[in-house]
Structure 1
Amino acid sequence: MNKITLLLIFNVLVLLSCKSKETFEPRNISKVEVENLVQDSLLNVRALEVVKGKVLFGTSNGEIYVYKPSENSRNLTTLEWMEIDSIKPPNYRALAYAENRVFGLAIESPALLYMNGKLVYKENHPKAFYDSMDFWNDQEGIAIGDPTDTCMSIIITRDGGETWNKLPCGSLPKAIVGEAAFAASDTNIAIVDNHTWVATGGKASRILYSPDKGKSWEVSDTPIVQGKETTGMYSIDFYDELNGFAIGGDYTKPDNNKANKIKTIDGGKTWELVANNENPGYRSCVQYIPNRAGEELVAIGFKGIDYSNDSGNSWKHLSDEGFYTIRFLNDSIAYAAGSGRLARLIFRE
């Protein structure tokens, strides 16, 4: 390849880069409209997914609902929890979807993982407590939970969810005493391509990172508040391989905004505190708004909804409406769930 060809390629890349930057127009969201779609005092929802125009959510009463926005209706899918020896239905805190298969993961012992109503994983350990689940692709998925031994609990499937295997502690970073995770919003795991980040919390709050879909792991410390069972990261999200954000705090002191928001620009190797001693305080879920260049995020919790348009360095409080978890349909519409309801959120400038 001669110098002229290299110069032409360089110029094309520069032009494409400039064009991309020029076409991105920063927004300043000033309000959010909340439209309640499903209201039921018995609902308690922390597991939520938006998939192919449908909204899936799992409840603490062992039910998984499918809400179809185009039909403005919901269809109830009851998973067969009665097939196992349990006196109560599973408390779903995590959901996942892969190629027409819906997965529901329950907390507490016995840990129960269902695929379209079929029990595909059960763990009877008295300390079993799973917090979050996600898939890299239609065949490979991961779920994480609190330690039952000397490491965080991590189970992985490579066959589309038919079988799940727990990773041995010899292949994982050793957990610190009091380190666990929070089943607050099903967002303890962030995946970008083959990269995986797991947020722990409690007396130690760190990042477990795998570059190869769970085959190898390393661990990084974070400056987020930690040291108590109720402190640390409750939620993590990555926009791309480099830019990520985590939020949490202490749900028993939800107005405390000290050291509860952190971000990374190097793929999670290092983390820095942002908006320290500034609101929001405790939040259970944070998500990047899609197609906004990693600049816009929304944080949500039982104390309200907050928005950032500068990669999390500063935040604007949009609403006191309380929810536990949120997922975006596009750059203006999201679905949120919490105690007693599922709602559509519309973000406007």
Structure 2
Amino acid sequence: MKKYFILMTMLALLSCKKEEKEPIYIPSFTIVKVDTLMQDKISIRALLTDGDKVWYAGNGGKYGYVSLSGGKSLNGVVAKDSALPEFRSIAKNKSDIFILNAGTPAMLYKISKDGMAVRKVYTETGEKVFYDSMQFYNDTDGIAMGDPTDGCLSVIITEDGGGNWRKVSCEVLPETANGEAAFAASNSNLIIKGDNTWMVSGGKKSRVFYSADRGKSWKVYDTPMAQGSEMTGIFSADFYDDKIGFAVGGDYEKPDKNSGNKILTINGGKDWQLVGEGAGFGYASCVQFVPDGNGNELVTCGPSGIFYSFDRGATWKKILDDKTLHTLRFADNKTIIAAGQGKIIRIKLQ
């Protein structure tokens, strides 16, 4: 009897410890209000918030900003000879906005935040040239990534505030697999937190490339994301901090398939696990962590609509049935800015 009592006590203590380790997830909002900030004949996949302004870049060479407080807006167009580039990457530092098109020739433009000065600061030609995403670490150092051209992902960097850019040698970068590339779906193939950099790939191989030192050295990690054909893999990723990350994608040609399309890491990208299998959306083009959500809350967009999770992707709730949105960013932890076919909208969370 005494042994039985001791055994039951130990089991109870172990049960308590297990319960203490289980995270508690609490939804932070239930009500959604939507208003339209801009309408135009444009497809937008490059979007960022900068104080009161939402900057965008899209097809037809179009770029500009809208105000969140009802102030003036800016509409600009960049043309190369008779061609109108399709911009899918956008980034910022303290003084300027940078936009980069997909396809060849790649053209990277530096735009002053007052919109008065527009200057091309990098160009690259070649049959395989296709840039996907761009970010800045600080006001001086920036990075952009794209599809492989010489056996590794294309990476260009600036160290002078964006005035000059240079391409990184494949001697520094991991070799890509046959059929491995990236998707310019929402300017979120490239993620930066402090000195940490992650680049995500898709196609016949879907992996995560990681650098702890702003791109000086790299490691690469496999993922369980759907892969193996040209239009499968990771389309978007985000990191809440240097440990918790989430990626979405799946199979672009099977947009309703809601398995093999959501993966979570809690150790900085070294290991990933499938979550939310058979739940929520199918193919998705963008994912973002909710600010101040402790790495538990996520929002995605794509042809299934906008979905929200409060438990790190285990369960999902559709919060907006809009199937035309490609990308989204948070202006604050209660305001989503989303863009896609012909518009930019604001979603207020309460």
Same fold, judged at TM 0.5 (above):
yes
Q: Equivalent residue for 1:328?
A: 330
Q: 1:25 to 1:255 in 2, by over 3 A?
A: closer
Q: Post-superposition shift, 1:96?
A: 0.6
Structure exhibiting the larger radius of gyration computed from Cα positions: 2
The aligned residue for residue 269 of structure 1 is 270
- Deviation, 1:31, is 4.0
Q: State the partner residue of 1:89.
A: 84
| 1:52 Cα deviation after fit | 1.6
Specify which of 315, 339, 342 is matched with residue 341 of structure 2. 339
Distance 1:324 1:33 in 2: 19
Classify the secondary structure of the residue corresponding to 2:69. Answer: coil
Alignment of 1:197 onto 2:198: yes
Q: CA shift at 1:37, angstroms?
A: 1.6
Partner of 1:11: none
Q: Aligned runs of 1:51-130 on 2, under 5 Å?
A: 51-79=50-78, 81-82=79-80, 86-116=81-111, 117-130=118-131
SS at match of 2:171: helix
Q: 1:303 to 1:25 in 2, by over 3 A?
A: closer
Q: Which residue of 2 aligns with 1:29?
A: 29
* Residues in 2 aligned to 1:139 and 1:236: alpha-carbon distance in whole angstroms: 24
1:7 aligned residue:
none
- Aligned ranges 1:190-339 → 2 under 5 Å: 190-322=191-323, 323-339=325-341
Of 273-282 and 70-79, the range deviating more from structure 2: 70-79
Tell me the secondary structure at the aligned position of residue 209 of structure 2: strand
CA deviation after TM superposition for structure 1 residue 122, in Å? 0.6
1:173 aligns with 2:174: yes
Q: Distance in 2 between matches of 1:279 and 1:69?
A: 30
Number of positions where the alignment pairs a residue of Structure 1 with one of Structure 2: 320
Gapped regions of structure 1 (runs ≥ 5)? 1-23
CA deviation profile, 1:284-321 (whole Å, cap 9, x unmatched): 00000101111111011132000011122211112211
CA-atom RMSD in angstroms? 1.4
Q: How far apart are residue 72 of structure 1 and its match?
A: 4.6
CA displacement at 1:74 relative to structure 2: 1.8
Distance 2:27 2:230 in 1: 38
1:29 is displaced (CA, Å) by 3.0
Q: Deviation string for 1:226-247 (max 9, x for gaps)? A: 0011100010000001000000
Which deviates the most, 233-242 or 63-72?
63-72
Question: How far is the alpha carbon of 1:63 from its aligned partner?
Answer: 1.6
Number of the residue aligned with 2:141: 140
User: Percent identical across equivalent pairs?
Assistant: 45
Q: Note the C-alpha offset of 1:65.
A: 1.2
Q: Does the Cα contact within 8 Å between 2:53 and 2:68 map onto a contact in 1?
A: yes
CA contact (8 A) 2:66 2:72 kept: yes
Residues of 1 paired with 2:130 and 2:25: CA distance?
43
For 1:123, give the aligned amino acid: E
Return the alpha-carbon distance in structure 2 between the equivalents of residues 232 and 197 of structure 1: 15
Cα 1:236–1:25 change in 2 (3 A) is closer
Q: State how far apart, in whole Å, the 2-side matches of 1:339 and 1:31 are.
A: 24
Q: TM-score of the superposition, structure 2-length normalised?
A: 0.89
Q: Determine if contact 2:262/2:275 at 8 Å carries over to the other structure.
A: yes
Decide whether the 8 Å contact of 1:66 with 1:77 is kept in 2.
no
Q: Could you tell me how far apart the structure 2 residues matched to 1:319 and 1:104 are?
A: 29
Tell me the alpha carbon deviations over residues 179-217 of structure 1, each in whole angstroms, 9 at most, x when there is no partner: 000001000011110000111111111000000011111
Cα offsets for 1:26-62 (capped at 9, x unmatched): 334334322112112x111000000122100001011
Cα shift readout 1:123-158 (whole Å, capped 9, x = no counterpart) = 111110000000111111110000111111011111
Output the TM-score relative to the length of structure 1: 0.89
Residue 25 of structure 2 contacts residue 310 of structure 2 at CA under 8 Å; is this kept in 1?
Answer: no
CA contact (8 A) 1:29 1:307 kept: no
Whether the aligned pair in 1 keeps the contact of 2:286 and 2:326 (CA below 8 Å) is yes
